[in-house]
Structure 1
Amino acid sequence: MQQNNNNPFPISLHNTHVKLLAFDFLTLTPPSSPDYPFTRKSIPITRAETLGTIVLRDHKPSKFLRFAIDDGTGCIPCILWLNHMTSPHLARRRSPQDVCLLADAAARSAAMVKVGVVARVRGKVTGFKGGVQITVSDVFVERDPNVEILHWVECVNLAKNCYNLVNAPSSSSGSGSATRK
């Protein structure tokens, strides 16, 4: 398999729902141009997953549901679009049956978003008014009381052992020989 040498991001987590805590998510670097994604330590991040308590809810029927997820390290802004039936963008790109399915799924997700509920949210990392947010693709209400701690442990473990190593230089390419004192 030949690698594209024109790609400024040789290794990425493209289209992977990267599990991030709010303090890490909110520090993603904005794209340098509209053609590039947000980045974390030079690694492109296009999708994210978070889990926490819903602390804010702003619903505009048939338009959008804006809400925030608090995981204890900060609040992640989220937007769930509800304008599938009136969007000319979707009408051009999708069949009417697909648009109806997307609208139904969004309405079901919106019904689950209630202040005080612990939820897992996944979606696309997007920008809005100079900040970063999740454009929601799905919401899952969590009922297990241990799920928040497990999410924290997974986020820390993935950051330490996976996300921080993706673009790290190979240790075999250096000439560093160990010296003893």
Structure 2
Amino acid sequence: MAAAAAAAAAANLGEDQFLSEELPSVLWGLDPVFSAFPRLYVRDIQDMPESIQVPGIYFYNSHPVYRVDVLGKVVYKREREDFFCYGVDDGTGVINCLCWKNELLKGGEDPHTRDPKPGFCPRSRPCVMEKLRRAQHNRCRLEIGELLRVRGLVKTSRDKQREILASSYYKVNDPVMSVQIAWMMEVPELYRQCYDKPLNSTSTALNKAKGIILDFCEEKSVNRFRPYDLQNILQPLVSSQLQTTAADQQPVAGPSACQQLCQLLKEALDTLEKEGFIYRKVKSQDQVYNVTTQDKDLLIAVKCIIREDSAKDKYAVKGCHILHILSAVRQRYSLNVSRAALERLLSFLECSSDIISTGENRYTVF
């Protein structure tokens, strides 16, 4: 009895821990894995815990998953009137795949063994349907040992086993194993670059903050601003309530809502500055940021530099190199203009037909 109680307590603890780590459902759409068919190993599909919030949603390393893409060998098969049931082995495990039959496959008769009807004309419409039926039969009716690719929803069967309810499936012809080799090279890279990296809600908030700031500057035609001008528009991203414990509802140690807002704003501005969307013409205690493509003085300065120097023999043929333009801008306008900001500005001017590109990182005027 004591052992059973301990096991139950451990199970409850594991469930509570997973619930505390599970991403809120309102944020699932921010994860690109949620909108895709992730190519997960069968072993991981079988081991994924199910969501406490929404049944039918599973989690791999905090990524919400409800549909997958699997490639493997057929190791067993069952056929019913309306569907095929294939066991697919990808080398890490075997999963049951429920594959519904197309209307052309229903009836159970093999089109290759069917006798043609008397008076059958090869140019008639039934001939076309017969070809479609045969093609569908060859692609969807597999034998043990053949290669199958399945895309579909992940479900938990009545006996608590994971299975895939296929939305699309087909036999893969791979005589030289080129498809399997490509798959074995791509999937580990997807794990390294995406699946094994947990979704960072902080970076998600940062991306949303960057988008809000850029939209604000574009809609209001803002050419310069101070950080406190943006605090109100970022306020919805930060919860105004302090973190509380579930036990006694007492505040716990941590940054206040105001501190979180200031930190988010600082990180968003730093990132936008590194990416060249904004820059500071003069660095002082009075933090004033200029919007790169809205700064008319900077636009005029860059166009004048390119126009004047393109007339010189040295730059008449190939145009002015970006490093030359950057050096001239820093001498004549501001030392704080970064290369990222200049690249963004040159792209803006080129789209506006104010300058043209004569080669890699070289520009001139019409």
Within a 5 Å distance, the mapping from 1:24-173 to structure 2 comes to: 24-35=44-55, 37-62=57-82, 64-82=83-101, 111-129=140-158, 130-144=160-174, 145-165=177-197, 167-168=199-200, 170=203
Q: Which has the higher contact order (CA 8 A, sep 6+)?
A: 1
SS at match of 1:72: coil
Call closer, same or farther: CA 1:33–1:58 in 2, change over 3 Å. Answer: farther
Partners of 1:150 and 1:79 in 2: how far apart? Answer: 25
Q: TM-score scaled to structure 1, two decimals?
A: 0.68
Shift of 1:83: 9.4
Q: TM-score scaled to structure 2, two decimals?
A: 0.36
Q: Which amino acid aligns with 1:60?
A: R
Call closer, same or farther: CA 1:118–1:165 in 2, change over 3 Å. Answer: same
Aligned 8 A contact 1:56 1:115 in 2: yes
Cα deviations by residue, 1:52-97 (Å, 9 ceiling, x for unpaired)? 10111111113x321111111111211123498xxxxxxxxxxxxx
SS at match of 1:115: coil
Partners of 1:55 and 1:6 in 2: how far apart? Answer: 36
Partners of 1:117 and 1:33 in 2: how far apart? Answer: 38
Call closer, same or farther: CA 1:158–1:6 in 2, change over 3 Å. Answer: closer
Partners of 2:138 and 2:165 in 1: how far apart? Answer: 13
Identity of aligned residues (%): 23
Partners of 2:180 and 2:37 in 1: how far apart? Answer: 17
Gaps of 5+ in 2: 1-23, 104-132, 207-262, 264-366
Gaps of 5+ in 1: 85-103, 174-181
Call closer, same or farther: CA 1:116–1:6 in 2, change over 3 Å. Answer: closer
Aligned 8 A contact 1:15 1:46 in 2: no
Call closer, same or farther: CA 1:46–1:155 in 2, change over 3 Å. Answer: same
Partners of 1:77 and 1:54 in 2: how far apart? Answer: 10
Call closer, same or farther: CA 1:10–1:136 in 2, change over 3 Å. Answer: closer
Structure 1 match to 2:112: none
Call closer, same or farther: CA 1:132–1:47 in 2, change over 3 Å. Answer: same
Structure that is richer in strand per residue? 1
Shift of 1:109: 8.3
SS at match of 1:134: strand
Between structure 1 and structure 2, the one with the greater Rg is 2
Q: Which amino acid aligns with 1:143?
A: N
Q: Which amino acid aligns with 2:164?
A: I
Structure 1 match to 2:42: 22
Partners of 1:47 and 1:158 in 2: how far apart? Answer: 16
Aligned 8 A contact 2:51 2:58 in 1: yes
Cα deviations by residue, 1:112-141 (Å, 9 ceiling, x for unpaired)? 332111111111112212222111111122
Shift of 1:14: 2.2
Shift of 1:158: 0.5
Alignment RMSD, CA only? Answer: 3.0
Shift of 1:35: 4.5
Q: Is structure 2 residue 40 aligned with structure 1 residue 9?
A: no
